[in-house]
Chains A and B, each alone.
Chain A
Amino acid sequence: MSPRLFALIPAAVAINLVIGRVVAELSLPVYLDTLGTMLVAVLTGLSGGLLVGTVSQLLSGMLSGYQWLAFTPIQWLIALLAALAASRGGFSTHWRSAAWGAACGLAGGALSAVISFVLFRGVTAGGVTAIGAGLRALGFSLESAVTLASVSTDVIDKIMAFVVVGMLLRALPRRVLGRFPLAARAVGR
């Protein structure tokens, strides 16, 4: 592992945790707790993203309970899709970022719904569970409520995350992008 990746990982994990907290303080119905994972996956490739995702879940487990380790595969999926999007120039415009974000949200939401239903019967983080409870009160079955709540929140969350990462990458000077060939390809330079 290169010293650059070693230096990036702690900062990226901190971004995941801190921006997640900032967004929670803004009371927005999204998490944005995977920005660091996406950023490293786009800058250094899949292995970096996988590592950041895993360390993030371990650390966030220490701070809020290790039950959330069950959601580590979501971090891996996001790293995979962010690296794939980067290799296909998926961050070159707002619209391309948003489209990849929507695809990632659908995949992540579906996986999250399965984990949430099988292991937690739909009771996980506050916002998504509140939406699920609302859907249950409207007469949806538990399976449908959990799936709809997970997918809808994840799609919005990942669209926003991909757009934010895309904006940041496009704003980076060529000198910085030159050090990360995958990121340069991601924004079409």
Chain B
Amino acid sequence: MTDWARRAHPFTPGAVMLALVAAAVIAPAPNGSVIVYSVTIMLAIITGAGRGVWLGILVSAPLWLLLFVMHGILGEGPRAPFIGGGTLAVEGMRWAIGQGARLAAIVTASLAFATVFDPHRFLQAAIDRGWPWPLAFLVVATLDAAERFAGQARRLREAQRTRGLKVHGSLLTRARAIPALAFPLMLAALTEADEHTLALETRGLTRRGRRTALDPPADTPLDRLTRWIALLAVMLLLTWRISA
């Protein structure tokens, strides 16, 4: 079970992630949100996407802090004593815990999914299911481009710094560095788009018709069952929330 999220059909972790995001939105705060967050952490660890949990804690930590300051310390209404002689807004803290757990659940589900997502397996699965090829291509090409451009940005920043670009100092000094860092990237995007246009035309991107997947991932009964359970769980939660 340890590496299940990576070995599963690419649509299955996506369906589970969407179900968890929906559950986090539907579940009543604060108790429901805390339960959904706990379930998300448990599922991520069990299925081998535990790295997403740690990344989720890192990403949601500033949100927890800001929620505490904005609604706990600066909140309005009745106040309760807090350590060090201070006080906290009771209703604000209730909202902060509920919203914090809800956001942390969504962040964790998203990042756990991102850590196991394989764009090329997804492309094969999408082609196999008869999804429009341009749509599947867009997802994969965008993820590839994001990684490539991030590397390019790092190299560019180092190169510009060796030429004397200042990236530290006053607000104005740092703001002046933006054109030197942004322009080459934007120009590279335009140049690259020209080259890719030709490549896409020769590969028949806009041609209609079904394509054949070269290596479609297996869609096992367990995958199908998991997706149905995810859908059913969200429907049940929604029904319960509406009727409650």
Contacts and interface: CB of A to CB of B under 8 A. Distances in A.
Given A63-B114, A64-B107, A168-B183, A10 B141 contact: yes
| Size bracket of the B interface | 35 or more
B107 A65 contact: yes
B70 A132 contact: yes
Chain A contact residues (Cβ within 8 angstroms of B): what range? 35 or more
Given A8-B189, A8-B190, A17-B149, 14 more contacts: A3-B197, A7-B195, A11-B192, A11-B193, A15-B186, A18-B150, A21-B150, A22-B153, A26-B167, A28-B175, A28-B178, A62-B113, A66-B110, A121-B70
A133 B152 CA distance: 36
22 contacts: A4-B193, A6-B134, A6-B196, A7-B193, A7-B194, A9-B141, A10-B145, A11-B196, A12-B189, A19-B181, A21-B153, A22-B153, A22-B181, A25-B167, A65-B107, A66-B110, A67-B103, A130-B66, A136-B74, A142-B76, A160-B175, A171-B183
Nearest to A3: B200
A16 to B, nearest CB: 9
Contacts of A11: 145, 149, 188-190, 192-193, 196
Interface string B138-182: 100111111011101100010000000001000100110111011
Interface string B211-233: 00000000000000000000000
Given A6-B137, A8-B189, A123-B99, A28 B171 contact: yes
A13 B182 CA distance: 14
Contacts of B193: 4, 7-8, 11
A83 interface: no
A101 interface: no
Given A15-B186, A123-B67, A64 B59 contact: yes
Interface string B83-116: 0000000000001000100010011011101100
Nearest to B147: A14
Contacts of B148: 14
A137 interface: yes
Given A3-B197, A3-B206, A66-B110, A9 B117 contact: no
